[in-house]
């Protein structure tokens, strides 16, 4: 049998594997395993490094969902470090500012930063290395420097004059010496390094690893970091995407009361695999809904890069994402009919809407008892959702000036611990840098609606319906972790990857290398919340015949250059303990390591 050509070798080993969206983070994660750490230590160390080396994609003030499987455990767990809205974040307050949509940047768009608490929770759940050892690589690269990615340098250059005029703390941080850094030049953030050093010094006044981790949480959320955040927001009116300056509503009191949560995943069985995702406070269940729809379609008989495959996957996703708009939200605040949405009967009824022609309508299903909510949501979307202009989050490789995005990592250790995490938020474009800390806050509140009675309506203490969506799947002693940056596109790219592995027997790297596609048919989660009915973007490597066939089916096809869509990584373990890992060649920075 001829081995299929792949852009990179699929990594194999029995000691451990680490894959992430930046080679330095992957190397640091592998170093933690070599030092005797677990997948939890490796993930946290890599996560802190990603905040430094991919600052245009995530940061210390961001958010974090992770799906983990502890060795020997029969059930995976979800760490939800998606911070909720502050106490002062009411619809009335934002409406009083003359806003219909929450801006995509600035201080009004900020929710409680959850990522730090999430990483600490992971270390307590299954780590064993000292906190200093886990955080030291990030401190090193912040202080000594790292070769800044061309896309990060490009993002800074595009915003340099705005930073100079409106966000002086950001200008000082990202334009040291008064100018944007050159691509691949050594870039440093000594203020962030000092911040983490001070945190460690205060935490180390306690004895014992767990006590120091708990102390670090106190320092961030109730100590000097929280105090600096509170002081900065109280004293700053920052320009944002509305074209006006606004003061944020996040306070030290909001930070003091925050702690991440550990939850059960939402699951669906599909062709022998149990697929696990976050709850409906994230978009994760859309992948499960899409799989439920596709269970009744012979995906395995289709060319995995052919028009039939792309058409059916896209049409299934359109239906699932339409339901996301009506029904998904923080289940602590709103009833979410997940049992119905994932049921066979509901999928059977919805599957009948998938025909030979591409749909240009937004078609959420009707769930008994939720008819009024469905009507309110569709009415609201008709009023505010644009069908022109930008629809993308954050870094999409085909955009010339990406505004920000997300990172991803997967780790498996020799004992069988697995972590799949998708950190995001707090990217350098999101809000002004806090001068005393060297980092900025997130802009996740933009995913709320400023309208009462919707699943995604803004409310104090409520989690925004995030796009961050790591994946974990298990089958007969096997396990596979995977994910990608990309906002609303995350589950779309993960879905085609998973189908190609399950139905077409592809190895991880082979599946990642396949042409990718996605739709922006439904409302985007990011300001200005636009949608493009019937749209599908497809890497042109599928060939002109496939693109033409999709157009004949009624899809509004937008070809993308080959190797420009998606940033998937994946890791897997078989029943005998052999591990594999893979990373996308797209953007030429993700890397998988292992032995």
Tens-place pLDDT, residues 198-245: 999 999 999 999 999 999 999 999 999 999 999 999 999 999 999 999
- Given a cut of 50, whether residue 400 has pLDDT beyond it is no
pLDDT tens sequence across 411-451: 999 999 999 999 999 999 999 999 999 999 999 999 999 99
Helices 544-552, 307-327: inter-axial angle, 10-degree rounding = 50
Distance CA 479, CA 259 (A): 29
- Given a cut of 90, whether residue 522 has pLDDT beyond it is yes
pLDDT tens sequence across 155-200: 999 999 999 999 999 999 999 999 999 999 999 999 999 999 999 9
Structure tokens belonging to residue 158:
């595009």
**Positive or negative torsion for Cα 170, 173, 178, 181:** negative
Structure tokens belonging to residue 575:
């029943």
What pairing do the DSSP bridges indicate for beta strands 471-475 and 569-573?
unpaired
| pLDDT given for residue 438 in this prediction | 98
191 within domain boundaries:
yes
What is the signed CA dihedral for 230, 232, 237, 242, rounded to 10 degrees? -70
Helices 39-53, 131-144: inter-axial angle, 10-degree rounding = 20
- Whether residue 548 contacts residue 527, with contact meaning beta carbons closer than 8 Å, is answered with no
Other CB atoms within a 10 A radius of the CB of residue 457 amount to: 18
Distances (CA, A) of 471 to 399, 419, 497: 26, 10, 11
Residue 500 phi/psi, 5-degree rounding, is -70, -30
- Given a cut of 70, whether residue 398 has pLDDT beyond it is no
130 within domain boundaries:
yes
Residue 448's SS3 state is coil
For residue 434, the 8-state DSSP code is B
- Given a cut of 50, whether residue 104 has pLDDT beyond it is yes
91 within domain boundaries:
yes
348 within domain boundaries:
no
Q: C-alpha angle 418/280/222, rounded to 5°?
A: 70
567 within domain boundaries:
no
**Positive or negative torsion for Cα 205, 211, 217, 222:** negative
| pLDDT given for residue 474 in this prediction | 97
Distance CA 92, CA 96 (A): 6
97 within domain boundaries:
yes
580 within domain boundaries:
no
Closest C-alpha among 406, 464, 424, 419 to residue 283: 464
Other CB atoms within a 10 A radius of the CB of residue 350 amount to: 22
Structure tokens belonging to residue 124:
């307590």
| pLDDT given for residue 405 in this prediction | 81
| pLDDT given for residue 385 in this prediction | 77
The confidence band for 396, taking pLDDT boundaries of 50, 70 and 90, is: very low
| pLDDT given for residue 1 in this prediction | 57
476: left (phi > 0), else alpha (psi -120 to 50), else beta?
left
- What does the pLDDT average to over 287-302? 98
pLDDT tens sequence across 7-32: 999 999 999 999 999 999 999 999 99
- Whether residue 429 contacts residue 403, with contact meaning beta carbons closer than 8 Å, is answered with yes
- What does the pLDDT average to over 288-295? 98
68: left (phi > 0), else alpha (psi -120 to 50), else beta?
beta
| pLDDT given for residue 386 in this prediction | 74
End-to-end C-alpha distance for the chain, whole angstroms? 25
The confidence band for 3, taking pLDDT boundaries of 50, 70 and 90, is: confident
Distance CA 221, CA 224 (A): 8
Burial of 10 (0-12, 13-18, 19+ CB in 10 A): buried
| pLDDT given for residue 397 in this prediction | 37
Distance CA 520, CA 391 (A): 7
Other CB atoms within a 10 A radius of the CB of residue 155 amount to: 25
Half-sphere exposure of 343 (CA within 13 A, CB side): 10
Distance CA 105, CA 98 (A): 16
The confidence band for 74, taking pLDDT boundaries of 50, 70 and 90, is: confident
Strand partners, 558: 537
| pLDDT given for residue 115 in this prediction | 98
**Positive or negative torsion for Cα 19, 21, 27, 29:** negative
User: What domain range is 218 assigned to?
Assistant: 44-259+422-447
| pLDDT given for residue 389 in this prediction | 53
pLDDT tens sequence across 77-90: 999 999 999 999 99
- Whether residue 549 contacts residue 469, with contact meaning beta carbons closer than 8 Å, is answered with no
Closest C-alpha among 191, 259, 250, 189 to residue 220: 259
- What does the pLDDT average to over 92-118? 97
- What does the pLDDT average to over 35-39? 98
b/e map of 254-264 (b: 16 or more CB within 10 Å)? bbeebebbeee
> What mean pLDDT value characterizes the chain?
95
Distance CA 468, CA 446 (A): 14
- Given a cut of 70, whether residue 491 has pLDDT beyond it is yes
Over 118-180, what HEC string results? HHHHHHHHHCCCCHHHHHHHHHHHHHHCEECCHHHHHHHHHHHHHHHHHCHHHHHHHCHHHCC
Distances (CA, A) of 420 to 279, 475, 480, 482, 565: 15, 17, 9, 7, 21
- Whether residue 456 contacts residue 448, with contact meaning beta carbons closer than 8 Å, is answered with yes
Q: Which residue has the tokens 């799947």?
A: 473
pLDDT tens sequence across 51-62: 999 999 999 999
The count of structural domains within the chain is 1
Structure tokens belonging to residue 358:
């591409």
For residue 559, the 8-state DSSP code is E
325 within domain boundaries:
no
The confidence band for 392, taking pLDDT boundaries of 50, 70 and 90, is: very low
- What does the pLDDT average to over 452-480? 97
Distance CA 392, CA 407 (A): 16
Distance CA 11, CA 543 (A): 29
């Amino acid at each position: 049998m001829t081995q299929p050509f792949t852009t990179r070798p699929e990594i194999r080993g029995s000691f451990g594997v680490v894959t992430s969206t930046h080679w330095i983070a992957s190397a640091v994660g592998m170093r933690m395993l070599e030092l005797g750490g677990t997948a939890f230590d490796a993930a946290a160390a890599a996560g802190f490094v990603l905040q430094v080396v991919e600052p245009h994609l995530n940061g210390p003030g961001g958010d974090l969902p992770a799906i983990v499987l502890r060795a020997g455990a029969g059930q995976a767990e979800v760490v939800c470090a998606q911070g909720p809205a502050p106490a002062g974040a009411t619809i009335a307050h934002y409406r009083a500012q003359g806003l219909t949509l929450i801006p995509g940047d600035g201080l009004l768009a900020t929710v409680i930063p959850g990522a730090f608490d999430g990483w600490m929770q992971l270390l307590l759940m299954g780590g064993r290395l000292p906190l200093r050892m886990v955080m030291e690589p990030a401190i090193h690269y912040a202080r000594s420097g790292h070769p800044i990615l061309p896309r990060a340098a490009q993002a800074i250059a595009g915003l340099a004059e705005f930073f100079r005029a409106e966000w002086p703390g950001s200008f000082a941080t990202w334009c040291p010496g008064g100018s944007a850094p050159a691509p691949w030049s050594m870039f440093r953030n000594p203020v962030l390094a000092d911040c983490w050093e001070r945190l460690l010094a205060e935490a180390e006044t306690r004895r014992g690893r767990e006590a120091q981790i708990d102390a670090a949480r106190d320092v961030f959320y109730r100590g000097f970091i929280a105090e600096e955040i509170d002081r900065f927001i109280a004293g700053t009116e920052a320009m944002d995407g509305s074209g006006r300056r606004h003061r944020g509503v996040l306070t030290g009191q909001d930070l003091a009361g925050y702690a991440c949560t550990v939850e059960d995943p939402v699951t669906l069985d599909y062709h022998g695999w149990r697929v696990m995702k976050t709850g409906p406070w994230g978009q994760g269940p859309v992948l499960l809904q899409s799989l439920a729809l596709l269970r009744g379609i012979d995906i395995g008989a289709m060319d995995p890069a052919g028009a039939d495959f792309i058409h059916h996957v896209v049409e299934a996703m359109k239906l699932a994402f339409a339901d996301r708009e009506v029904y998904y939200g923080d289940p602590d605040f709103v009833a979410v009919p997940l049992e119905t949405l994932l049921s066979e009967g509901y999928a059977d009824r919805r599957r009948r809407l998938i025909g030979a022609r591409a749909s240009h309508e937004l078609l959420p299903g009707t769930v008994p008892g939720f008819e009024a909510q469905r009507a309110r949501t569709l009415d609201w979307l008709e009023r505010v959702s644009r069908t022109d202009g930008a629809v993308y989050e954050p870094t999409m490789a085909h955009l010339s000036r990406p505004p920000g995005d997300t990172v991803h990592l997967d780790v498996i250790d020799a004992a069988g611990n697995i972590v799949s995490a998708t950190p995001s938020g707090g990217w350098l474009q999101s809000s002004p840098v806090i001068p005393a800390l060297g980092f900025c806050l997130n802009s996740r509140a933009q995913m709320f609606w400023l309208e009462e009675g919707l699943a995604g309506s803004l409310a104090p203490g409520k989690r925004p319906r995030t796009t961050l969506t790591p994946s974990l799947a298990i089958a007969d002693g096997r396990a596979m972790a995977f994910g990608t940056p990309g906002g609303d596109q995350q589950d779309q790219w993960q879905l085609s990857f998973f189908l190609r592995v399950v139905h077409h027997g592809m190895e991880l790297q082979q599946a990642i290398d396949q042409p990718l596609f996605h739709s922006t048919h439904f409302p985007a989660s990011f300001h200005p919340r636009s949608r493009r009915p019937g749209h599908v973007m497809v890497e042109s490597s599928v060939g002109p015949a496939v693109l033409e066939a999709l157009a004949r089916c009624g899809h509004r096809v937008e070809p993308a250059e080959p190797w420009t869509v998606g940033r998937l990584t994946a890791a897997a373990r078989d029943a005998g303990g052999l591990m594999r890992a893979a990373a996308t060649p797209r953007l030429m920075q993700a890397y998988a390591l292992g032995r």
